[in-house]
Amino acid sequence: MQHPSEPAMESPTADEDTKRNSDGIEATLGTREKISFLVLMIMSFYAALESTSIGVALPNIAASTRASSTQAFWIGTSYLLASAVCQPPFAAFSHIFGRRPVIIFTLLLFIAGSIICALAHDVAVILVGRVLQGIGSGGGLSLIEIIITDLVPLKQRGGYFGLISLAWALGSAISPLIGGAFTQKSITGNSGSGFRLNPCRAGVSLVVLPVSLRLEPRKGAIMNKVKQVDCIGCFLLVSSATSTLIAISWGGIMFSWSSAHTLAPLLIGIAGIAVFVLWEIYFAKHPLIPMSIFNNRTAATVYWQSMVSGFDMWACVYYLPLYFEAVHGYSPILAGVAILPTLLSVALAAAVTGFAIRKTGAYRKILWLGWSITVLGSGLMMLLDVHKSPAQWVFIDLVGGLGVGMLLPVMRPAVQASSSDENMAVAAALTMTMRTLGMSLGIAVLGIIFQNVFQHKLNSSGLSGFENAAAQNVLGFVKIAKSLPDQSPEKEILRKIFADSLKIIWAAMLAFSAVSLLLSFLTEELSLDRVLNTEQGVKTNSNGVLEPESTSTAEADAFEEK
């Protein structure tokens, strides 16, 4: 429980205490905390920058490194997969070891991965660097969510989450431009110059955050802390999720779905996830993910919606550039410009929605509206074909981006309002985990759909001489289509095949979004007026400025009983 810091003053009543910690005017951040929040926004910005800039570069990477489509997709998927599966462990680590040392460790991992990627000249080394980047980025993203729950009362968080979503969306908006620019100038197409900027960005955070972020440290011997780590749970979750997604990524492409190479890791992964759930419920002394957070319909449905929102957004980020490059013949940098309407509308909608939640204290109707617009936008994207004019595809992109942007900040307060104070940090981090997992699944699953549909349409088109190339590298057809003479029959056929194959992706987005719209009606409207209650947070002094928590747990309990 958070308490006043002036001993000379009379202890506030419960009503006064609630008002101080839940009212959006009185509970304000101090200068250092505002600097810390700005750094968290920057971290969110470059995490989005790194995860999305690779999308525009995928065709060039596949061609220059002679990578298959699966390998090229894994350059994006490996980052997101590592980011998703490591977020729950880092959330647990922050509870055991403290927020500040854990977030510093994630920054060091991200810097190390960026250096490896900057020096890489082949797919294998790039993948190693991308995994390290993903682990560092994912851990940082989970800590961003958690630290906001330490600093800000629930009713105020909508505005702060809106700003974090704004930073993320802006990073996503400009990353295709940066990725396209570096791709066009890069000999290898691996955007090495872009990777070399990351240590500088992360280095600023590494310097500023330890000074500005003043949270209660976790006391106790290091070995006692290590004993609290759910090592078995970490191993089961990471290995099972990785095994499952690997099988999904190469099923039907590298190996058939009936092949042992696909079925074995898929079944092992699913079984591992089941064992993980049982372990967490019945055996884990300090659960990595307390399963009690899923015991209400609001949390259960919103976690699904969070996953689908990531699925939808990354479908646009990765496949809209392919549409503009292959169908309209744009260069990588122009493809990045072409998807700006989508991503900028995401940024604007996210910021406005966050502050609307803070102002009204309500989120349910915003959730319904967001999914309704997303369904409409997905349906409109199915109209994207060879002959769409710029005015037409700009309008279509704006509608889809508006819906996704509204959804980014609205799910966090819904989940946190349904959670207990004890599980608040884990519940907050898991929202981002599910969104990141949706991003990973979006690339892997949609990559399979696109590859298989493209091969089928190509085989039935009557074009000859492309069959072997299609089996190895569909992304390479972007360059093939561009190299063909304008108005040639072959080029027109390939453009149509690309546009028609991408429509299956938009149809998948429509289906998942429609299910999420229906599930959103099961989400309850819970009150956001709750006292800030966190073990590693800060407390309010008489001036309303948040300062480091110094009151012991025993003193806090005594005050609360009084």
Q: For residue 209, give the CATH number of its domain.
A: 1.20.1250.20
Query: What per-residue confidence (pLDDT) applies to 65?
Result: 60
d(CA 494, CA 479): 11
Q: Both 417 and 429 in a single domain?
A: yes
For residue 369, tell me if it sits in a domain: yes
Mean pLDDT of 250-254: 65
Q: Both 164 and 244 in a single domain?
A: no
Q: Both 258 and 293 in a single domain?
A: no
Q: How many domains does the chain have?
A: 2
Query: Which single residue is written with the structure tokens 């961003």?
Result: 144
For residue 482, tell me if it sits in a domain: yes
- pLDDT category at 1 given cuts 50, 70, 90 is very low
For residue 490, tell me if it sits in a domain: yes
Query: What per-residue confidence (pLDDT) applies to 302?
Result: 92
Mean pLDDT of 149-174: 83
Instruction: List, in sequence order, every residue forming a beta bridge with 540; answer none if it has no partner.
Output: 546
Q: For residue 45, is pLDDT > 70?
A: yes
**Among 117, 30, 22, which residue's Cα sits nearest to residue 78?**
117
Q: For residue 429, is pLDDT > 50?
A: yes
Q: Both 73 and 204 in a single domain?
A: yes
28 backbone dihedrals φ, ψ, rounded to 5°: -115, 160
Query: What per-residue confidence (pLDDT) applies to 512?
Result: 93
pLDDT, one tens digit per residue, over 463-510 is 766 655 554 456 667 777 777 777 778 888 888 888 898 999 999 999
Of residues 275 and 428, more confidence is placed in: 275
Lowest-confidence pick of 147-161, 311-325, 476-490: 476-490
Q: For residue 453, is pLDDT > 80?
A: yes
Q: For residue 163, is pLDDT > 60?
A: yes
Q: Both 263 and 369 in a single domain?
A: no
Q: Both 73 and 57 in a single domain?
A: yes
Cβ pair 538, 546 in contact under 8 A? yes
Q: Both 127 and 53 in a single domain?
A: yes
Distances in whole angstroms, Cα of residue 170 to Cα of each of 195, 344, 351, 471? 18, 7, 11, 36
Q: Both 292 and 281 in a single domain?
A: no
For residue 8, tell me if it sits in a domain: no
Residue 230 CA, distance from chain mean position: 24
Secondary structure element (H or E) that encloses residue 441, with its range: helix 424-459
- For 112, the token pair is 């190390």
For residue 504, tell me if it sits in a domain: yes
Query: What per-residue confidence (pLDDT) applies to 54?
Result: 65
DSSP 484: S
Q: Which residues of 378-415 are buried (b: 16+ CB within 10 A; e: fewer)?
A: bbbbbebbeebeeeebeebbbbbbbbbbbbbbbbbbbb
Q: For residue 457, is pLDDT > 90?
A: no
Identify how many contiguous H helices and E strands the chain contains and give both numbers.
20, 2
- DSSP secondary structure, 128-180, as one string: HHHHHHHHHHHHHHHHHHHHHHHHS-GGGHHHHHHHHHHHHHHHHHHHHHHHH
269 backbone dihedrals φ, ψ, rounded to 5°: -65, -45
Q: Both 261 and 302 in a single domain?
A: no
For residue 186, tell me if it sits in a domain: yes
The predicted model scores a pTM of 0.77
For residue 267, tell me if it sits in a domain: yes
Cβ pair 384, 326 in contact under 8 A? no
- DSSP secondary structure, 221-287, as one string: -HHHHHHTS-HHHHHHHHHHHHHHHHHHHHBTTTB-TTSHHHHHHHHHHHHHHHHHHHHHHHT-SS-
Q: Both 144 and 260 in a single domain?
A: no
Query: What per-residue confidence (pLDDT) applies to 330?
Result: 85
Neighbours of 278 (CB within 10 A): 13
d(CA 429, CA 437): 12
Residue 84 lies in domain: 29-214+221-229+286-528
Q: What is the largest CA-CA distance in the chain?
A: 87
Q: Both 73 and 121 in a single domain?
A: yes
Q: Both 48 and 171 in a single domain?
A: yes
DSSP 51: H
- For 470, the token pair is 């299609």
- DSSP secondary structure, 59-119, as one string: HHHHHHTT--HHHHHHHHHHHHHHHHHHHHHHHHHHHHH-HHHHHHHHHHHHHHHHHHHHH
d(CA 31, CA 414): 28
Q: For residue 525, is pLDDT > 90?
A: no
- Sorted by sequence, the CB contacts under 8 Å of residue 4 that are 6+ apart come out as 11, 12, 17, 20, 539, 540, 541, 542
Query: What per-residue confidence (pLDDT) applies to 189?
Result: 42
- pLDDT category at 10 given cuts 50, 70, 90 is very low
Q: Where a domain ends, among 268, 285, 302?
A: 285
- pLDDT category at 440 given cuts 50, 70, 90 is confident
Residue 12 CA, distance from chain mean position: 40
Q: Return mean pLDDT, the chain.
A: 77
Q: Where a domain ends, among 285, 314, 330?
A: 285
In one-letter notation, the amino acid at residue 406 is M
Cβ pair 411, 374 in contact under 8 A? no
For residue 330, tell me if it sits in a domain: yes
Query: What per-residue confidence (pLDDT) applies to 537?
Result: 62
Q: For residue 167, is pLDDT > 80?
A: yes
Distances in whole angstroms, Cα of residue 124 to Cα of each of 114, 155, 244, 473? 14, 46, 21, 17
Query: What per-residue confidence (pLDDT) applies to 60?
Result: 63
